[in-house]
Amino acid sequence: MEVKFNKNAIIFSGVDTLSVPLTLDCGQAFRWSEKSDGIWHGVAYSKAVDIVRNGDELIINGCFDEGDEKLWVEYFDLERDYGNICKNLKSDCHLKTAIEAFPGIRILKQEPWEALCSFIVSQNNNIPRIKGIIERLCVSFGNDLGDGDFSFPCAEKLAVLTVEDLAPLRSGFRAKYIIDAAQKVASGEVDLKKLHTCDIDEARQELIKIKGVGAKVAECTLLYGCGRVDAFPVDVWVRRIMSELYPEGLPECTNGVEGIAQQYLFHWRRNV
């Protein structure tokens, strides 16, 4: 993989196993939309960008600071060998079908706080509504990045708010959970920084200190916000997959990359 810079673009070439639409629109992130054919617009790490795939190139258009290319390597998990991981996963016949039906899904490495907050909002909810609530959260409390884009508001910003302040989000009973998460993260009672490296069970325990965070939301935070591809969120769809296809448990080829296997199986089961 190589990196080039061109005006306001960062261009990665030699990028394999990456479908931009599948990766940005498979229910792991909620701030991307296809603004015109093949051009995906959104905000991550407080950067508003347009993303395009051109052959083996991944083009990120926007305004950048020195060293920003590292952010996007991290965000799209470009240093992980998905080609090889998928090859191994395909030794299982169901995973083979799922991966061949929807190739190029990668696990995004979002900001931990954004992932935590997003998956609190996601509970008992559907994707269009999740996107709406998060958009209103960002417009109401994030920083104005210009051109109608807003950053995801930090925990400190939300920690001083009340449930009434969040009423315009129309997030329902989740508002109190957002506030509790913001307060615990801002105060340091929940330490998001250590979740990347500490024992995964310890990370789970840390997250479920927050009201409104159970096993599923904790697992999603670890997978999509902390780069823990061994995290394995089980929702109603994955529960169906497990009982239908893997009553004895996941196959051995998923060891250590359970979260990646989950994402392929989940998307396949929902869209086949």
Partner DNA sequence: AACCAGGCGCATA
Partner DNA sequence: TATGCGCATGGT
Taking phi over 0 as left and psi of -120 to 50 as alpha, with beta for the rest, 86 belongs to: alpha
Among 162, 173, 191, 202, indicate the residue that binds DNA (CB under 7 A). 173
Asked if 135 and 149 count as a contact pair (C-beta separation under 8 A), the reply is no
Should residue 170 be labelled a site residue for DNA when binding is judged by CB under 7 A? yes
Site for DNA in 201-220 (CB under 7 A): 208, 210-218
In terms of CB distance, is 58 or 181 closer to DNA?
181
Site for DNA in 125-154 (CB under 7 A): 125-126, 128-129, 132
Rounded-to-integer distance, Cα 243 and Cα 239, Å: 6
Number of residues that bind DNA (CB under 7 A): 24
In terms of CB distance, is 122 or 151 closer to DNA?
122
**Contacts with 198 (C-beta within 8 Å, 6 or more apart), sequence order:** 206
The amino acid that residue 148 corresponds to is: G
Should residue 190 be labelled a site residue for DNA when binding is judged by CB under 7 A? no
In terms of CB distance, is 172 or 256 closer to DNA?
172
In terms of CB distance, is 62 or 212 closer to DNA?
212
Least spacing, CB of residue 218 vs DNA, in Å: 6
Block residue for tokens 């991290």: 74
Should residue 15 be labelled a site residue for DNA when binding is judged by CB under 7 A? no
In terms of CB distance, is 50 or 135 closer to DNA?
135
From the list 28-36, 70-78, 108-116, 122-130, the region that binds DNA by CB under 7 A is: 122-130
Rounded-to-integer distance, Cα 177 and Cα 135, Å: 17
DSSP 55-120: TTEEEEEE---TTTHHHHHHHTTTTS-HHHHHHHHTTSHHHHHHHHHSTT-------HHHHHHHHH
Strands (E) across 112-231 are located at 144-146, 149-150
Asked if 272 and 99 count as a contact pair (C-beta separation under 8 A), the reply is no
Should residue 124 be labelled a site residue for DNA when binding is judged by CB under 7 A? yes
Least spacing, CB of residue 150 vs DNA, in Å: 19
Q: Which residues lie near DNA (CB under 7 A)? A: 122-126, 128-129, 132, 170, 172-173, 208, 210-218, 235-237
